[in-house]
Amino acid sequence: MSPLNTSNPLALQVLMSETIFDIDFPIPSIDDAVVEILPEKKEEEFVFKTYGGNNKNILFVISDNANEFLSPEAEIAFMKILRALKLTLEDIVIVNHKEPQVNLTFEKIREKLQPANCIFLGADPQLLGLEVCAENILKTENNIQFLYSYSFEEMLRDTEKKRLFWDAIKLMNL
């Protein structure tokens, strides 16, 4: 007869038909126990995609669920705005705050990108944990200039919105 080995709980229940009694072993106290102190879990580095070089710490925050960053039409308009401001793509950085990024906060963006200027184009600053900003009015907080304006899609459809944005962004220290 060969030994029967199993770890299946149903098989063990059938095979173990006898009652097992507890034998009075001393219960170790907390003083007798070996306590292992685990290192604190480090917070994982938050990763988000950016577009641009960020050489001048100018942050553009957009909200476009349909594109990774900008639609082709919006990208053309954006490049024209950068040229008019005497900036290049290497000077700025774009973050697309898409709907599923619920853990993305402005604090996490600030820690990683260190923006001196932050322009919200159609993205709601409140979704990143910031206070409400008035449209096309500059606001300075913690040595960062903020501007909340329309999305590129809105500006492409309405030249008045484009003019209001242009008048406001020209006042920033870029």
Give tens-digit pLDDT for 111-123: 999 999 999 999 9
Quick one: pLDDT band at residue 43, thresholds 50, 70, 90?
A: low
Number of C-beta neighbours around residue 144 at 10 A: 16
**From 3.40.470.10, 3.40.50.2300, 3.30.750.24, 3.30.1540.10, which CATH number describes the 58-169 domain?**
3.40.470.10
Task: Please state, in angstroms and rounded to a whole number, the distance separating the CA atoms of residues 59 and 52.
Answer: 9
DSSP, residue by residue, 71-121: -HHHHHHHHHHHHHTT--TTTEEEEE--TT-TT--HHHHHHHH--SEEEEE
What is the reported pLDDT for 65? 86
Instruction: Please state the domain extents for the chain.
Output: 58-169
Name the burial class of residue 114, with classes exposed (0-12), middle (13-18) and buried (19+) by CB atoms within 10 angstroms of its CB: exposed
Q: What is the pLDDT of residue 98?
A: 79
Phi, psi of 91 (to 5 degrees): -80, -25
Residue bearing the bigger pLDDT, 47 or 62: 62
Query: Which pLDDT score is estimated for 173?
Result: 87
What secondary structure letter does DSSP report for 51?
A: B
Record the pTM. 0.72
pLDDT value of position 160: 95
pLDDT band at 19 (very low <50, low <70, confident <90, very high): low
Determine the pLDDT at residue 101. Answer: 60
Backbone angles phi, psi at 60, to 5 degrees: -110, 125
